[in-house]
């Protein structure tokens, strides 16, 4: 077995990656990124920026994308658990408007590779979560776009617990749906 196990997700380019974890009585060690190993699984990307965020249970961030400066992203959870989603926005893609979601947690150590041309977002499932991601382009203020998290055309099945209070930024409450995104591109 190699250092990385890859799960294809039914959407070209999207991958769930599980690294090899070495555990003993002291704790664990995991190599989270090694360029040659990622090239071997078909991810030949130069990452130029690392980001980290912390959020409490019920926070939904997204669904975000960069319009003119799209980014490949490699995301993972350092603490807690999130449900992470990628929505295909690539023009001409046979899976346009489809999504894939996966639980990422400090326990499962999974990483999620989201190529350029996707909207991305997550829901915090644990009381607290720290989220880290690598990006292939720099953040450009004013270039951000988004789609509302509950657009029925996309139909993301968020694992929202009964009674869970959902928390959004003001910006994320105002995004339109997939139809508005398509209309804005024409």
Q: Which of 78, 33, 30 is nearest to 52 (CA)?
A: 78
Residues 45, 38: contact at Cβ < 8 Å? yes
Residue 8: what pLDDT? Answer: 84
Residue 64 annotated as catalytic: yes
Sheet holding 118-124, edge to edge: 99-105, 81-88, 118-124, 60-66, 144-146
pLDDT tens-digit series, residues 117-149? 999 999 999 999 999 999 999 999 899 999 999
Peptide bond before residue 63 is cis, with ω within 30 degrees of 0: yes
The three-state secondary structure class of 148 is coil
Residue 176: what pLDDT? Answer: 96
Ramachandran region, residue 97 (left: φ > 0; alpha: ψ -120 to 50; beta: rest): left
Q: In the chain, which residues have pLDDT < 70?
A: 1-2
Residue 71: what pLDDT? Answer: 97
CA distance 6 to 18: 6
Residue 185: what pLDDT? Answer: 82
Q: Which two tokens stand for residue 42?
A: 């078909």
Q: Which of 64, 99, 120, 181 is catalytic?
A: 64
Question: Any idea what DSSP says for residue 29?
Answer: E
Q: Which of 83, 99, 120, 133 is catalytic?
A: 133
CA distance 102 to 166: 19
Count of CB atoms within 10 A of residue 176's CB? 14
Residue 110: what pLDDT? Answer: 98
- The domains located in the chain, with CATH, are 46-185 (2.60.120.10)
Q: What angle do CA 106, 77, 114 make, to 5 degrees?
A: 135
pTM of the model: 0.94
Residue 133 annotated as catalytic: yes
């Amino acid at each position: 077995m190699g250092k990385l196990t890859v799960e294809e997700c039914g959407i070209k380019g999207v991958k769930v990656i599980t690294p090899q974890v070495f555990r003993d009585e002291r704790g664990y060690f995991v190599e989270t990124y090694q360029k040659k190993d990622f090239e071997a699984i078909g991810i030949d990307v130069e990452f130029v920026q690392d980001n980290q965020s912390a959020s409490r249970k019920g926070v939904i961030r997204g669904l975000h994308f960069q319009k003119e400066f799209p980014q490949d992203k490699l995301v993972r959870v350092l603490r807690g658990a999130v449900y992470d989603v990628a929505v295909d926005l690539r023009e001409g893609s046979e899976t346009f408007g489809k999504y894939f979601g996966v639980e990422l947690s400090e326990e499962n150590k999974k990483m999620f590779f989201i190529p350029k041309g996707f909207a991305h977002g997550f829901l915090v499932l644990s009381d607290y979560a720290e989220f880290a991601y690598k990006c292939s382009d720099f953040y450009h203020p004013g270039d951000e776009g988004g789609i509302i998290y509950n657009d029925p055309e996309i139909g993301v099945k968020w694992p929202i617990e009964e009674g869970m209070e959902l928390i959004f930024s003001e910006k994320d409450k105002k995004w339109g749906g997939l139809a508005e995104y398509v209309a804005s591109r024409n």
